[in-house]
A and B are shown apart, each in its own frame.
Chain A
Amino acid sequence: MENYLSLFETYNVPEAFWVNIQLSFWAAIWALIIGTVLALFRISPIPSLQWFGAAYVNIFRNTPLTIILAFGFLGLFSVMQINLAGELDVSLFRIAIVGLSLYHAAFVCEAIRSGVNTVPIGQAEAARAIGLSFLPAARLIILPQAFRGAIAPLGNVLIALIKNSTVAAAGSVATEASGLMKTMIEFRSDLVIPIFLTFALGFVILVIPIGLLTTWASRKLAVAR
């Protein structure tokens, strides 16, 4: 036990988790923005935008996240010299956020589209009938109802995003939790299983409230019809 507790003196586990929380937070915001725009494209009356939305979703949803994040580090950062900040670690952190955002935006788009499918077609027809064009109708009538119908699937995307933030190690964000776990296992091979369990438990604690919250919110905010 003393052995185990000594781990926390040597390694700053909460700080590593804090990196994942920050990665997840920013990636969630950007994924929500990009995903909403993509969903608008997919339900828009303009064929080229529909095509773009569909192409984006199919490309990013079907590419492994590891490859996207490795490309961010090796392709964007190393080869193309795209630098998002002065300091190296901040730049890598931001590139990881870009990769996580682009990847999860595809899933956000599909979650919102599933929410749009919960909105009866008559709502859009009524909006058009009073003279609203596509964007105002989407903003005022369709999306507010679609989001409320999409809370549970969006929650699932957020849960996946938090866990997937560990893949940022592939983008050389070595300070995040799974990176620290690897280091700890390397130096404390006597405690492999306790170390595993510690990180597993850490993620469970992070994720469980989100599941509870989205289940509660999707009931609370459901649109009565």
Chain B
Amino acid sequence: MTSEPRPATPASTGSPLVSLKHVNKHFGELHVLRDINLEVARGEVVVVIGPSGSGKSTLCRAINRLETIDDGEITIDGKVLPAEGKALAKLRADVGMVFQSFNLFAHKSILENVTLGPVKVKGMKSGEAKDLAMSLLKRVGVDNQAQKLPAQLSGGQQQRVAIARALAMQPKVMLFDEPTSALDPEMINEVLDAMVSLAKEGMTMIVVTHEMGFARRAADRVIFMADGQIVEQATPEEFFTNPQSERARDFLGKILSH
């Protein structure tokens, strides 16, 4: 893998693909998202890092409304996230999501996991969906497991299937909520490699992760969150070599010291 950063897409060209304006959320007393403002441009790869409990996962889940927000506005490709119902489902189909715990449909084969969305949500013909699924599974290197059930695969394989499942919906943006945190160390790289190649193909990605190597290799921008706020944002180069805030210096000191 090269360490050369992708050409950064300036956020100023065109309308942002994902935009959050003054987003707030509470869990009871806890103010988990504090006045979040964020714009993600088409083709941009944004990595969100921060200590646990900083709200980064909640932020990621709020973007396809798996978490509701108290106030503020989230738009995807210019459309405000609907509250519920069919309109929300339609918008979610444009937003791919990869979870920490994979969440493959446990009673369906690997192939069915990937074809289900295109067939049931988009009305694609099953033959066509199968071809699409097989090409995506091949791309992430698990096409030889297509007939198995999720529980028969390793964590790394399951997570790559989850990426293929999300890609099958041809999403405008992909959200990754700590995609490697539940994996054994030897499986982390196979998933990260799939994500890096996705980033290089120009997919818009918002990635919550603890993998600093991935941030260096693939991110256009790093966002550092703490206590529900965006404390700092910069290119990976800037952020890792010259963090501006005390919180970020402290955090990086803790994780990069060994």
Contact = CB atoms under 8 A, between A and B. Distances in A.
Interface of A: 45, 120, 122-123, 125-133, 136, 140-141, 144-145, 148, 223-225
28 contacts: A45-B84, A120-B101, A120-B103, A122-B99, A123-B103, A123-B106, A125-B66, A126-B99, A126-B104, A126-B162, A129-B66, A129-B92, A129-B97, A129-B166, A130-B116, A130-B121, A130-B166, A131-B90, A131-B117, A131-B121, A132-B89, A132-B121, A136-B120, A141-B105, A144-B107, A145-B107, A148-B107, A224-B152
B27 to A, nearest CB: 16
Contact of A224 (B64, B94, B151, B165): B151
A129 B95 contact: yes
A144 B105 CA distance: 11
B121 A129 contact: no
Contacts, number: 74
A176 B95 CA distance: 59
By size class, the interface of chain B is 20 to 34
Interface string B119-159: 01100000000000000000000000000010110000000
Nearest to A148: B107
Given A122-B103, A127-B105, A133 B85 contact: yes
Contacts of B97: 125-126, 129
Contacts of B104: 126
A122 B149 contact: no
A224 B149 contact: yes
Interface of B: 64, 66, 84-86, 88-90, 92-97, 99, 101-107, 116-117, 120-121, 149, 151-152, 162, 165-166, 169
Nearest to B94: A131
A129 to B, nearest CB: 4
B197 to A, nearest CB: 22
User: Top 8 nearest A-B pairs by Cβ distance?
Assistant: A131-B93, A224-B151, A122-B103, A126-B103, A130-B117, A129-B97, A133-B89, A131-B121
Contacts of A223: 106-107
Contacts of A125: 66, 97, 99, 103
A128 B89 contact: yes
A131 B103 contact: no
B210 to A, nearest CB: 20
Given A131-B117, A224-B149, 17 more contacts: A125-B99, A126-B97, A126-B103, A127-B105, A128-B89, A129-B166, A130-B92, A131-B90, A131-B92, A131-B169, A133-B85, A133-B89, A136-B121, A140-B120, A145-B106, A145-B107, A223-B107
B73 to A, nearest CB: 21
A133 B93 CA distance: 10
A122 B101 contact: yes
A50 to B, nearest CB: 14
A122 B177 CA distance: 12
Contact of B120 (A122, A132, A148): A132
A42 B116 CA distance: 25
Nearest to B92: A131
Most buried by B among A129, A131, A132, A141: A129
A223 B169 CA distance: 26
A136 B116 CA distance: 11
Contacts of A129: 64, 66, 92, 95-97, 99, 166
A123 to B, nearest CB: 6
A152 B101 CA distance: 28
Residue among A126, A136, A225 with the highest chain B CB neighbour number at 10 A:
A126
B165 A130 contact: yes
B92 A224 contact: no
B25 to A, nearest CB: 17
